Amino acid sequence: MSPQAPAPERAIVLAPLGRDSQVALTILQEAGFSGSPASDLGDLCSQLHQGAGMALIAEEALNGLNLAPLLDFLKQQPAWSDLPIVLMTYHGGPDHPPSMRLGAQLGNVSFLERPFHPVALVSLINTAIRGRRRQYEARDRLNDLSDSQQRLQSALTAGRLGEERLRQLNETLEQQVEERTAQITQNEEALRQAQKMEAVGQLTGGIAHDFNNMLTGIIGSLELMRRRIARGRTEDLDNLIDLGVTSANRAAGLTHRLLAFSRRQSLDTQPVQMNRLVVAMDELLQRSLDESIRLHMNLGEELWVAEADPHQLESALLNLVINARDAMPNGGELMVQTRNCHLDAAFTRGQSNLAVGDYVCLSVRDNGCGMPQSVINRAFDPFFTTKPIGQGTGLGLSMIYGFSKQSQGHVAIDSEIGKGTTVSLYLPRFRGELPGQADAPVARARRARSGETVLIVEDDSAVRVLVGEVLRELGYTWMEAADSAGALPILNSPQRIDLLISDVGLPGGMNGRQLAEIGRHLRPGLKVLFITGYAEHAAVRGGFLDPGMQMITKPFAFDLLTAKVREMIEV
């Protein structure tokens, strides 16, 4: 068999109204993708028959038309092919009635709501083309198997092998083809899930950066109001302040869940004694349950040390226990279990980002109502919930899914209607040397010593002002810059700087981590405190922070900020 020509990877754009087609093609070109416009549905189908990596279609281009030519093309695709389609929708996205109808007809569809950001379009195009490449690889492997079978048939027909041997070899080849096809199907399903996670991750990451900046301004303003009220500068508004802070913190919690789902949260990964963590949460878990539910713990002996962010693990356990509670409205038994386990190749095959090896498993089992397979299939989707309106956000399990994947682990659901559900969280075994057990001294926020100076680099003016005011109240001298271009002249001057506080995501092409590198080159030993609402490369702190660097996540309490500043300057 002669080698096939490289598969087409162009994106065909059907958007005949307005400037959508021109804008999309320009974005594609700037991102390094090949694209071609289609004038109407017939032209689209003609180009698809010539070969394509994907199609980008405006919803209105299909409304009211006979879609038979397009649907026939999609139905007649070979077994290895599932053409990715991005459907540009109006407000309402996939929940918009025309979009729902078209999505059900077209199959492998992702939705892009207009007006869209170029990053959102490029993300969807990138994941679609990567999926298409995997389909081409599957086609080539199937063709290789088919060629091998044809060559064997020819040889056997020529009399080289007997009839019985022919039958046996044919059965072996057919079995290999079936197994390979099943594996390709499984891999494609895992790839689709990963593509969906990546697309949502990039979108929520960008939203979270701006959202957390706003939240920092809200919470900081309220806390400063509280301090000034305590000095008698105005009448008592504590109840309104508490309401504002509570509402803002709830919004912050929603943002953190979105980041956890999209695997963009900042993880402080470290060795975790899981049994010790579970026992420490016993009282909190008991308070979260009704009296009709009995909590049992089955903690494994000689349990390995896990590697994870302990705070996110606590949040995951609490979410699982609350979900189990809600599945037993009439009471029941709830079991929290820990155990060592080894995941072999048969288990990890088809699971993205999961390696063969040793893991520590945390399971929560209830004997409640259970879940049908249709619910299990969507349980990790963001905002999907079976709870009544107002009783669940649909982010609990999706947050756990994102946390497990970002931690190089896995989460699985085993459920049976009427018998209950078990959710198992697998986290990697820690292989390094355990740190000492001595507790670190707690730093207290005392007033600054004479001349101590902090440089604040933050693009959001509200955050800069609030951080500066807090430092001023503690007696620090502070300077500010909106980006790295404004900060570099200060770092390169004789001005005293005891600490650099910098956002990770800065405008102008140089991020906070790069600025810190230059600052340390100019001022060896410079202490750096990063503040971040979203930073992809800071998602795992261990690979981001050098000695003398720390990080706090927006929105943060200003007591935490002042404690960190004092701790770092005094070291």
> Who wins on pLDDT, 220 or 53?
53
Same domain, 299 and 388: yes
pLDDT at 72 over 70: yes
Q: Assess if residue 190 is contained within a domain.
A: no
Q: What's the pLDDT score for residue 250?
A: 58
Q: How far apart are CA 22 and CA 229, in angstroms?
A: 56
Lowest mean pLDDT among 5-19, 247-261, 382-396: 382-396
**Residue 426's pLDDT is what?**
92
Asked if residue 183 lies in contact with residue 141, where contact means CB atoms within 8 angstroms, the answer is no
Q: If DSSP states are collapsed to H, E and C, what string results for 11-75? A: EEEECCCCCHHHHHHHHHHHCCCCEEECCCHHHHHHHHHHCCCEEEEEHHHCCCCCCHHHHHHHH
The label of the residue with tokens 């499984």 reads 186
Whether residue 234 is contained in a domain is answered as: yes
The winner for highest mean pLDDT among 5-19, 83-97, 330-344, 370-384 is 330-344
**Is the distance from CB of 215 to CB of 252 less than 8 angstroms?**
yes
- Separation between Cα atoms, residue 74 and residue 176, nearest integer Å: 27
pLDDT band (50, 70, 90) for residue 5: very low
Q: Is residue 104 part of a domain?
A: yes
Question: How many other C-beta atoms lie within 10 A of the C-beta of residue 155?
Answer: 13
Share above pLDDT 90 across residues of the chain, in percent, rounded to a whole number:
12
Q: Is the pLDDT assigned to residue 197 strictly greater than 50?
A: yes
d(CA 193, CA 180): 20
Same domain, 401 and 452: no
228 pLDDT band, cuts 50/70/90, is confident
| For range 149-171, the mean pLDDT | 62
In the predicted model, is pLDDT for residue 398 greater than 60?
A: yes
- Going by pLDDT thresholds of 50, 70 and 90, the confidence category of residue 139 is confident
* Contact present, 292 and 301 (Cβ < 8 Å): no
Maximum distance among all Cα pairs of the chain, rounded to whole angstroms: 104
Q: CA 466, CA 478: separation in Å to the nearest integer?
A: 12
Determine contact, residues 336/321, Cβ cutoff 8 Å. yes
DSSP string, 496-514: --SEEEEESS-SSS--HHH
Distances from the Cα of 513 to the Cα of 5, 175, 464, 483, 503, angstroms: 44, 53, 18, 12, 9
Q: Which pLDDT score, from 0 to 100, does residue 445 have?
A: 45
Closest by alpha carbon to 234, among 220, 224, 242? 224
Looking at 387, 404, 428, the residue that finishes a domain is 428
In a domain, 66, yes or no: yes
Residues 276 and 423 in one domain: yes
Confidence at residue 214, expressed as pLDDT on a 0 to 100 scale: 57
Are residues 80 and 21 located together in one domain of the fold?
Answer: yes
Domain shared by 401 and 458, yes or no:
no
What average pLDDT is seen over the chain?
Answer: 76
* Chain centroid to CA 429: 22
CATH number at residue 312: 3.30.565.10
**What residue type is assigned to position 287 of the chain?**
R
Higher pLDDT, 458 or 551: 458
Query: Does 439 have pLDDT greater than 50?
Result: no
Question: Does 510 fall in a domain?
Answer: yes
Number of neighbouring beta carbons within 10 Å of residue 285: 20
The top-scoring range by mean pLDDT among 183-192, 250-259, 445-454 is: 445-454
Residue 384 in this model has a pLDDT that exceeds 70: no
- Looking at 35-44, 79-88, 140-149, 401-410, which range is the least confident one? 140-149
Considering the domain architecture, whether residues 106 and 30 belong to the same structural domain is answered as yes
Return the bridge partners of 36, or none. Answer: 12
Cβ count within 10 A of residue 513: 20
Residue 499: the pLDDT is 92
Tokens 């109502």 correspond to: 369
566 burial level (CB within 10 Å; 0-12, 13-18, 19+) = buried
User: What pLDDT is stored for residue 259 in this prediction?
Assistant: 54
- Domain hosting residue 290, numbered range: 271-428
How far apart are the C-alpha atoms of 268 and 222, rounded to whole Å?
28
CATH number at residue 231: 3.40.50.2300
Q: How far apart are CA 370 and CA 327, in angstroms?
A: 7
Q: State residue 3's pLDDT score.
A: 35
The pLDDT assigned to 275 comes to 92
Looking at residue 222, its pLDDT comes to: 73
**Are 484 and 385 members of one domain?**
no
CA-closest candidate to residue 188, choices 297, 45, 84, 298 = 84
Structural element, H or E, at residue 409: none
Q: Across the chain, how many H-helices and E-strands are there?
A: 17, 17
The answer to whether residue 182 sits within a structural domain is no
**447 pLDDT higher than 90:** no
Are 260 and 286 members of one domain?
no
If asked whether residues 138 and 211 sit together in one domain, one would say no
Q: Is residue 355 part of a domain?
A: yes
Both 49 and 107 in one domain: the answer is: yes
Q: Which of 1-15, 167-181, 196-210, 509-523 has the highest mean pLDDT?
A: 509-523
Confidence of residue 335 (pLDDT cuts 50, 70, 90): very high
Whether 298 and 423 map to the same domain: the answer is yes
Which stretch of 139-148, 186-195, 422-431, 482-491 has the lowest confidence by average pLDDT? 186-195
- Residue 304 is predicted with a pLDDT of 92
**Shared-domain flag, residues 447 and 479:** yes
Q: Sheet harboring 332-343: ordered strands across?
A: 293-299, 332-343, 357-366, 420-428, 410-416
**What share of the chain has pLDDT > 70, as a percent?**
70
In the chain, the number of structural domains is: 3
Phi, psi of 543 (to 5 degrees): -95, 5
**Residue 568 within any structural domain of the chain:** yes
The mean pLDDT value for 29-48 works out to: 88
User: Does the structure show a pLDDT above 80 at 557?
Assistant: no
CA distance 487 to 528: 13
| Helices 558-570, 163-230: inter-axial angle, 10-degree rounding | 90
Q: Which of 372, 405, 428 is the last residue of a domain?
A: 428
Residue listed under structure tokens 């960190």: 564
Q: What is the pTM for the complete model shown? A: 0.41
pLDDT value at residue 24: 87
